[in-house]
Structure 1
Amino acid sequence: MRNPIWQPSKERVSNSIISDFIKFLSDNYGYDFDGYHSLWKWSVDNTNEFWSIFWDFSQIIGHKGSKIFQKEEDPTRSRFFPNSEISFAENILKDKEFSNKIIFWAEDKFRREINLDQIINQVHSISDFFIESGIKPGDRVVGYLSNIPEGIIAALAASNVGAIWSSCSPDFGVDSSVDRFMQISPKILFTSDQVIQNGEFEELNTKVNEIVSRISSIQNVVVCNYIPDNPKNLDSFNNSVKFNDLLKENPTHNWSRFNFNHPLYILFSSGTTGPPKSIMHGSGGTLIQHFKEHKLHCDIKPGDNIIYNTSSGWMMWNWLLSCLGSGASIVLFDGGIFSPKPKFIFDLIDQEDITFWGTSAKYIEALEKLKLNPINTHNLKNLKTISSTGSPLSEESFKYIYEKVKSDVHLTSISGGTDIVGCFVQGNPNMPVWPGEIQVKGLGMDVDVFNQGGDSVKETQGELVCKNNFPSQPVGFWNDNNNRNYYENYYAKYNNIWHHGDFASVTKNLGIKIFGRSDTTLNPRGIRIGTSEIYRQVNQFDEVVDSLAVSYGDERIILFVKLSGKQKLNADLVKKYKNNIKQNTTSNHVPKLIIQAPDLPRTKSGKLSEMSVKRVMNNQELNNSQSLENPESIEFFKNLNL
């Protein structure tokens, strides 16, 4: 058996919040656990008790009610805390209990900071504006915003009046944003006068006016100054008011409570194979799931500083927002992913005393290819945790982090999704880290791996499922009569058991490996193969920028590679890639063809869109290519003649 790549110190274990939780269970309920896995087993065997006790431990403010779980025959209608009432915004801001803040960086152009008093004042000011504008509980408020503090303020204010918040980042473009927002008929849209991308500022009035002209329900546009004291054409936005004009010196300070399952957010699926699904998440489910993940699995504490490479169109933005509720400050970075230079993320980690850095597996792989060596160039002394999500993190990337970034850091690979606004599998700061593995199944989540017949399997690849209800499952899809689409998407395959659509396995260490989406699983000669197994063997070569594998025709595997610079694919490279795949996997993994592509399609959140390529290559219609970050990349695959 391989050795773990990292072990927490005894001091770190004894000081972790999950250790405090275990002691809380012992002191107050007489429970004694011999390790995480027995704690997890108790949490899924006694789900109602677990969530009720965690409510108390995390000191959620509100009326819990006497009923913890209401089970229905249709699992999409089952509800946790059905009689509970909470204020999401109150629980996030704690009414000045902590001294946390929001810090904003527009690449390296400027920095600004908003302290907790200012955050609370602005949330109440915008809440007053909503009430004066006739916004009622259940109305929709949206943001066409980059990663700026005003988006956080607007989302919290919307929750405070019972409105439902949804957002897209400006890089979605007009068509993709309209495809999403038109479904939910928003009444108010928040935006900014400009955005930054790779050092350049772009004004947004033309795009925003087009969005508003196409969505008749939008009554008002609230325009924020991107650069303080330097507004750009604020009057050129139709039906607009200025964000700063809405701020009051003494707004009404009132936290409004709503049912635990009252809708908080509408998040959208990627929409690359059809109209994006409008997934509604409840305020209480989002809150308690995020608190559990932040406190128990990520060890986020008051005084921590959190940064996540995200945009307002990815669920990690919502996850980052909730970190304020654990007393942490959040750092919002806006702009190009490597702008002004790739090492800037490490400059920020040092300058802002970052304790928790979240990013994507692809970002880490890119840093590795650039041969950055921050362990020698930066201090990173306060960095306790690095979180990776978006796609499977390879063993090589685990090794890169510990050898080239920081040797004593908790690297937590996590996986879940927009569907649950959280994670099914994630980290544990008290346990060793094994290369290529996600450490644990989340507490309260009865995660398993099934074969096609619905039997649980160990150390064998299969379908990731969750066998119990959990608070952060959607409260519904927008405009989904009788939850029909909701049920078909998640509960139909295994008869009332949540089927997540990830191809996974449970390891000998009781960790989890994710191999890719099951709807893009390869199937040569009847053997199911996750795409990440192939990517790991090819992407390690310096000249390979990215790769994408699909099955075609009679289930032949075709591998597309994007190469750096002017590098051309030749017979020697094809042989090298095939040999490396065969030597480190099996002959079944070896592609029939390897083809150089000028670019590979990605979703707005940066994930490879294998399904888009698979559909166009198999002569199926691709209805919504504008949901891709780079829709022009599809033309290459449409024109292939194989």
Structure 2
Amino acid sequence: MAENNPSPLWTPSPERIAKSRMHHYMQWLQQDKKLNFSGYEELWQWSVDHLEDFWESIWRYFDIRHSAPYSKVLDSHKMPGAKWFDGARLNIAEQVFRFHMEDADTPAIIGKSEARATVSITWREMRRQIASVANALREMGVQPGDRVVSYMPNVPETVIAFYACASIGAVWSSCSPDMGTPSVLDRFGQIAPKVLFAVDGYRYGGKDFDRRDVVAGLVQSLPTLEHVVLLPYLRQDATVTGARLWSELLDADSTPRFEQLPFDHPLWVVYSSGTTGMPKPIVHGQGGTLIEALKGHGLHGDLGEQDRFMWFSTTGWIMWNSQVTGLLLGSTIAVYDGNPGYPDLGTLWKFADEARLTVFGAGAAYYANCMKAGIEPRKLATLDSLHTIGSTGSPLSAEAFTWIYEQLGPDILLSSISGGTDVAASFVGGCPIVPLYAGEMQCRCLGIAVYAMDDAGKPLNDEVGELVVTKPMPSMPLFFWNDPEGKRYHDSYFDTYDGWWRHGDWLRITPRGGAIIYGRSDTTINRHGVRMGTSEIYRVVEAMPEILDSLVVDLEYLGRESYMPLFVVLRPGVSLDAELVRRINDNIRTALSARHVPNEVFVVNEIPRTLSGKKMELPVKKLMLGMAVDEVASPDAMSNPGSLAYFVELARRRAQSQATA
């Protein structure tokens, strides 16, 4: 464990505390509810002990716009199945239309990409475009509950299309255009979409990638599609047979209309893959997403109407969804599409300066790469408007914490967060009113009853355990699509601790009330924040005639570089030469994404399997992380116990090489 009494890396000044929205909220609680708290930890304890009172206070503090009131904040603490704010009717998009009405020329979205110069869209223009696109969709017959899917990059048009759908009550779902046809169909094919938004291609790392054939393939393979809207992105004259152009939608009536929807009306479907089967189509609600975003961005992120906020992401990662909800606080959001390392790792820092960002976020891997490359952000850009740096996607090492402060100075708050696609929220994260310690997230987030648990369900203090949530959250999934009995939903989170959410992360709560995430406790692949099931990789790899069987593990762990080896069993007479490795990698890159290309490929004689034939991914992962073989697997439960010897030896050699590196 870490030292018992470390010195803080950052301490908020009295001025920063006084200006923070968290402090203002605590003052409001004092005036409104006569509640006094000695500090954040006491506030958090109240928020989970009095769950209904807390979330009702968030509703009132942020003055959530609604057309019908709720009859009850929460019907029960049952998980899954808790029902929030029953009776309320609202629309998440309507919240965006309440900001900057007097100074409508303020930028709402600043966009830049490798394929385009910087554009700035004002609040007035954004509202006009959202209303126009929504009314054009209505003319196409889109109604509440219809699915609208996007194969678009991180550009302003994608944000506008999302809020247009939300204003109708249509259900949004997004895949990034760097994802291949099989991976996209595995997702969109489950939800029977009515409309597809798409681009003709994208630019990444200075290279153009034409996706018109992919779009045509999606149209052919999604029989429920009735309309396709094409945004010419690489070529202004690009077309796809039967598709309407984005510009045509902007000619529609721009009178805004907001369908008034129940709190738990579906907002979007996002995907978080497990180790077997198709990606999990997770449905979040309009109200749960709204109230969690207001709390998370507003209190923990300290976002407000004067802020300019960016979190570098693709449209296939939950952080894209998180970023677009920054508009709900009146913040300007900045979006960037392209390779963050092209032409060099200074690109995003320069854009942060150009856009005058106050809050800049990225995956932990980005900061680690900048640190290793010797990037000095303040020599590339002034960055004098920044007050917060955000990090997520994988654990950020203590060394990276220190590097950020060395580079950006003592006045920056490093808000390292950890949550998930599954809840569209953070379990643990930043706080503008408490000290920060290297390698440690500052707090458990308000209203989130999160603990480190042992196998028996006992909370652990200053010990590593399973991340478990013992009370419901408004943004927990409503359901999984095509899971009418709720079995897949239940088995994904509630099969280990009955009635409690087990997330699949290793967590330690420190004596200071902070949190450290140590990586995944299950076998889901989590490459730089993008989760993907091992089964998706197996489908691609094992389709190759040379490969009989395969196994992949992700060895992401605190302070270590992400490392994902792939093990393959080859057909007799086939050897693993450079050409076969290249084709394996190319197939994964094309069908899934470049993030899921393995670091190394190894040949093994057989894949370890249980007596029932299941691949033993978790035992192999534990072996590779240094656990003893008798602690991870019982020979009596295996069909081929001798197969583990290879992995034991490989783990020994890898540990030896790391020790001497």
1:113 matched to which residue of 2? 120
Residue 205, structure 1, aligned to residue 212, structure 2: yes
1:427 matched to which residue of 2? 430
SS of the counterpart of 1:68? strand
Q: CA deviation at 1:148?
A: 1.2
Report if aligned partners of 2:115, 2:233 keep a CA contact under 8 Å in 1: no
Q: Relative to structure 1, is the Cα distance of residues 333 and 91 closer, same or farther in structure 2, using a 3 angstrom cutoff?
A: same
Instruction: Please give the alpha-carbon distance, in whole angstroms, between the structure 2 residues aligned to 1:432 and 1:101.
Output: 32
Residue 22, structure 1, aligned to residue 26, structure 2: yes
Q: CA deviation at 1:547?
A: 3.1
* 1:531-570 map, 5 Å: 536=559, 539=561, 546-548=562-564
Residue 467, structure 1, aligned to residue 483, structure 2: no
2:200 matched to which residue of 1? 193
SS of the counterpart of 2:213? helix
| Corresponding residue to 1:158 among 165, 179, 185 | 165
* 1:30-429 map, 5 Å: 30-62=34-66, 63-71=68-76, 73=78, 75-94=79-98, 96-97=100-101, 99-107=106-114, 109-226=116-233, 231-234=236-239, 237-248=240-251, 250-270=253-273, 273-429=276-432
Q: Deviations over 1:8-61 (max 9, x none)?
A: 111110000001100100111111000001101111111111111111111211
Moved more, 61-70 or 87-96: 87-96
Q: Relative to structure 1, is the Cα distance of residues 318 and 609 closer, same or farther in structure 2, using a 3 angstrom cutoff?
A: farther
Q: CA deviation at 1:130?
A: 1.8
1:618 matched to which residue of 2? 608
Unaligned runs of 5+ in 2: 525-553, 569-583, 616-645, 651-661
Q: Deviations over 1:426-469 (max 9, x none)?
A: 10011111001111011011111110111111111110111111
Q: CA deviation at 1:92?
A: 2.4
SS of the counterpart of 1:516? strand
Q: CA deviation at 1:520?
A: 4.4
Report if aligned partners of 1:223, 1:241 keep a CA contact under 8 Å in 2: yes
Instruction: Please give the alpha-carbon distance, in whole angstroms, between the structure 2 residues aligned to 1:238 and 1:422.
Output: 39
Letter in 2 for 1:24: W
Letter in 2 for 1:123: I
Q: Deviations over 1:327-347 (max 9, x none)?
A: 111111001121222111111
Q: CA deviation at 1:490?
A: 1.1
Q: Deviations over 1:303-342 (max 9, x none)?
A: 2111111011101111100101111111110011212221
Report if aligned partners of 2:268, 2:284 keep a CA contact under 8 Å in 1: yes
2:531 matched to which residue of 1? none
Report if aligned partners of 2:77, 2:471 keep a CA contact under 8 Å in 1: no
Kindly tell me the number of residue pairs found equivalent between the two proteins.
561
Q: CA deviation at 1:114?
A: 1.3
Report if aligned partners of 1:187, 1:219 keep a CA contact under 8 Å in 2: yes
Instruction: Please give the alpha-carbon distance, in whole angstroms, between the structure 2 residues aligned to 1:64 and 1:326.
Output: 21
2:453 matched to which residue of 1? 450
Letter in 2 for 1:68: V
Q: Relative to structure 1, is the Cα distance of residues 383 and 242 closer, same or farther in structure 2, using a 3 angstrom cutoff?
A: same
SS of the counterpart of 1:160? helix
Instruction: Please give the alpha-carbon distance, in whole angstroms, between the structure 1 residues aligned to 2:441 and 2:71.
Output: 36
Letter in 1 for 2:213: T
Residue 2, structure 1, aligned to residue 6, structure 2: yes
2:624 matched to which residue of 1? none
Instruction: Please give the alpha-carbon distance, in whole angstroms, between the structure 2 residues aligned to 1:19 and 1:287.
Output: 21
Q: Deviations over 1:172-214 (max 9, x none)?
A: 1111001100000101000123311112333321110011111
Instruction: Please give the alpha-carbon distance, in whole angstroms, between the structure 2 residues aligned to 1:68 and 1:417.
Output: 24
1:625 matched to which residue of 2? none
Q: Relative to structure 1, is the Cα distance of residues 51 and 604 closer, same or farther in structure 2, using a 3 angstrom cutoff?
A: farther
Q: Relative to structure 1, is the Cα distance of residues 609 and 330 closer, same or farther in structure 2, using a 3 angstrom cutoff?
A: farther
Instruction: Please give the alpha-carbon distance, in whole angstroms, between the structure 2 residues aligned to 1:57 and 1:551.
Output: 53
Report if aligned partners of 1:380, 1:406 keep a CA contact under 8 Å in 2: no
Moved more, 173-182 or 193-202: 193-202
Q: CA deviation at 1:272?
A: 6.0
Give the % identical residues: 34
Instruction: Please give the alpha-carbon distance, in whole angstroms, between the structure 2 residues aligned to 1:23 and 1:168.
Output: 42
1:491 matched to which residue of 2? 494
Q: Relative to structure 1, is the Cα distance of residues 614 and 282 closer, same or farther in structure 2, using a 3 angstrom cutoff?
A: farther
Q: TM-score, normalised by structure 1?
A: 0.82
SS of the counterpart of 1:65? coil
Deviating beyond 4 angstroms after TM superposition, the runs of 4 or more aligned structure 1 residues are 530-533, 548-552, 601-610, 612-617, 619-622, 639-642
Q: Relative to structure 1, is the Cα distance of residues 160 and 605 closer, same or farther in structure 2, using a 3 angstrom cutoff?
A: farther
Q: TM-score, normalised by structure 2?
A: 0.80
Instruction: Please give the alpha-carbon distance, in whole angstroms, between the structure 2 residues aligned to 1:551 and 1:408.
Output: 46
Instruction: Please give the alpha-carbon distance, in whole angstroms, between the structure 2 residues aligned to 1:403 and 1:353.
Output: 21
SS of the counterpart of 2:121? strand
Letter in 2 for 1:362: A
Report if aligned partners of 2:228, 2:244 keep a CA contact under 8 Å in 1: yes
Q: CA deviation at 1:154?
A: 1.1
Instruction: Please give the alpha-carbon distance, in whole angstroms, between the structure 2 residues aligned to 1:517 and 1:368.
Output: 24
Q: Relative to structure 1, is the Cα distance of residues 549 and 219 closer, same or farther in structure 2, using a 3 angstrom cutoff?
A: closer
Q: Relative to structure 1, is the Cα distance of residues 369 and 91 closer, same or farther in structure 2, using a 3 angstrom cutoff?
A: same
Instruction: Please give the alpha-carbon distance, in whole angstroms, between the structure 2 residues aligned to 1:471 and 1:76.
Output: 11
Q: CA deviation at 1:287?
A: 0.6
Residue 439, structure 1, aligned to residue 435, structure 2: no
Q: Relative to structure 1, is the Cα distance of residues 64 and 260 closer, same or farther in structure 2, using a 3 angstrom cutoff?
A: same
Unaligned runs of 5+ in 1: 522-529, 540-545, 553-596, 623-638
Moved more, 348-357 or 94-103: 94-103
Instruction: Please give the alpha-carbon distance, in whole angstroms, between the structure 2 residues aligned to 1:368 and 1:613.
Output: 30
Q: Relative to structure 1, is the Cα distance of residues 140 and 598 closer, same or farther in structure 2, using a 3 angstrom cutoff?
A: closer
SS of the counterpart of 1:49? helix
Q: Deviations over 1:46-94 (max 9, x none)?
A: 1111111111111211133221111275x22211101111111011232
Report if aligned partners of 1:401, 1:407 keep a CA contact under 8 Å in 2: no
Report if aligned partners of 2:107, 2:121 keep a CA contact under 8 Å in 1: no
Letter in 1 for 2:237: K
Q: CA deviation at 1:377?
A: 4.0
SS of the counterpart of 1:94? coil
Letter in 1 for 2:46: W
Q: CA deviation at 1:220?
A: 1.0
Letter in 2 for 1:326: L
2:578 matched to which residue of 1? none
Q: CA deviation at 1:505?
A: 0.9
Instruction: Please give the alpha-carbon distance, in whole angstroms, between the structure 2 residues aligned to 1:289 and 1:9.
Output: 27
Report if aligned partners of 1:425, 1:442 keep a CA contact under 8 Å in 2: yes
